[in-house]
């Protein structure tokens, strides 16, 4: 007999755009990007288990503000996968989301939750669907869903859906900081002054903390100036990370979350404590990014 399907918890990591160049715009208004993204051990958590009827609940520090109904991306993911699987195979499930990532903050939280839901439900329902199939469903929910399904260092092109893994990319010590200001992604894209920037420069042959930091100095997040203009707290966040000794600082995605890069996890942890002390209301997390396979 098959063992009874049990509850299992899935990590929905934060997505951090270490570099993000806006290289064009499609006829439908979506922007063409060239971005290097990594995913962190810190993130939301989704507990998924069989249930009498579908349930969705949210806990955690950022639970307030998470939509509980069909507007939630994890719920949309459940419905999209159920349509694909058929109702017979896709039995009722309880999804409990622990929301540790700030909302609308440039770290892909909602997309990562939906990606974790797709991975978790495909496993629970024992679906015969590969990663490409999940990515196709994911893309109907958001441009960065496919990269959140991978959750390993990668280059994303197209609208963020054409993915190339980065073999040999190491884990990096990061501090994530958000000043408590939500920023609207469409507003940031609308405020761009130019959309025809050059592609990312080639990566160094040898990938370590120093070569990656030097490479990052030659790249940008093209969304940063627009986000800073809309939400000046982004600039303060970058300053706080610099002051705490980050070797490199930048905003992630469309903001307002910024990251600092540190040489070791211990230095990152000390910096996080310092920033928390100075800015008690801010979200601050010391974490490591996941290395390539």
The residues binding ligand C5P (CB under 6 A) are: 30-31, 33, 142-144, 159-160, 185-186, 189
Check the annotation: does 7 bind a ligand.
no
Our answer to whether residue 196 is catalytic in this structure is no
Q: Are 129 and 122 in contact (CB under 8 A)?
A: yes
| Min separation Cβ 59 and ligand C5P, Å | 24
Nearer to ligand C5P among residue 187 and residue 293 (C-beta): 187
Check the annotation: does 253 bind a ligand.
no
Nearer to ligand C5P among residue 59 and residue 185 (C-beta): 185
Q: Which of 44, 113, 144, 222 is catalytic?
A: 144
| Min separation Cβ 63 and ligand C5P, Å | 21
Check the annotation: does 233 bind a ligand.
no
Our answer to whether residue 144 is catalytic in this structure is yes
| Min separation Cβ 186 and ligand C5P, Å | 4
Nearer to ligand C5P among residue 30 and residue 209 (C-beta): 30
Nearer to ligand C5P among residue 53 and residue 193 (C-beta): 193
Check the annotation: does 160 bind a ligand.
no
Among all residues, which ones are annotated catalytic?
15, 144
Q: Which residues does the annotation place in the binding site for ATP?
A: 102-112
């Amino acid at each position: 007999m098959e063992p009874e399907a049990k509850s299992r918890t899935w990590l929905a990591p934060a997505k951090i755009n270490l570099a993000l160049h806006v290289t064009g715009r499609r006829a439908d208004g979506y922007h063409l990007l060239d971005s290097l993204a990594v995913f962190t051990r810190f993130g939301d958590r989704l507990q998924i288990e069989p249930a009498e009827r579908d349930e969705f609940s949210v806990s955690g520090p950022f639970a307030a503000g998470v939509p509980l109904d069909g507007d939630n991306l994890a719920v949309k993911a459940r419905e999209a996968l159920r349509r694909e699987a058929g109702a017979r195979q896709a039995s009722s499930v309880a999804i409990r989301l622990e929301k540790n990532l700030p909302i609308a903050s440039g770290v892909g939280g909602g997309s990562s939750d939906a990606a974790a839901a797709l991975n978790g439900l495909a496993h629970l329902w024992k679906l015969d669907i590969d990663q490409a199939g999940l990515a196709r469903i994911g893309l109907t929910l958001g441009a960065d869903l496919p990269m959140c399904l991978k959750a390993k260092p990668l280059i994303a092109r197209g609208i963020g859906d054409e993915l190339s893994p980065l073999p040999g990319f190491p884990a990096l010590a990061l501090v994530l900081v958000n000043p408590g200001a939500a920023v609207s992604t469409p507003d940031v894209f609308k405020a761009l002054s130019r959309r025809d920037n050059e592609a990312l420069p080639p990566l160094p042959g040898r990938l370590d903390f120093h070569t990656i930091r030097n490479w990052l100095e030659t790249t940008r997040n093209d969304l940063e100036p627009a986000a800073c203009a809309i939400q000046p707290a982004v600039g303060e966040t970058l300053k706080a990370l610099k002051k705490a000794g980050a070797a490199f600082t930048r905003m992630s995605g469309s903001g307002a979350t910024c990251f600092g890069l540190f040489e070791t996890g211990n230095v990152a942890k000390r910096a996080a404590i310092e920033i928390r002390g100075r800015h008690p209301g801010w979200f601050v997390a010391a974490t490591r990014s996941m290395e390539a396979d």
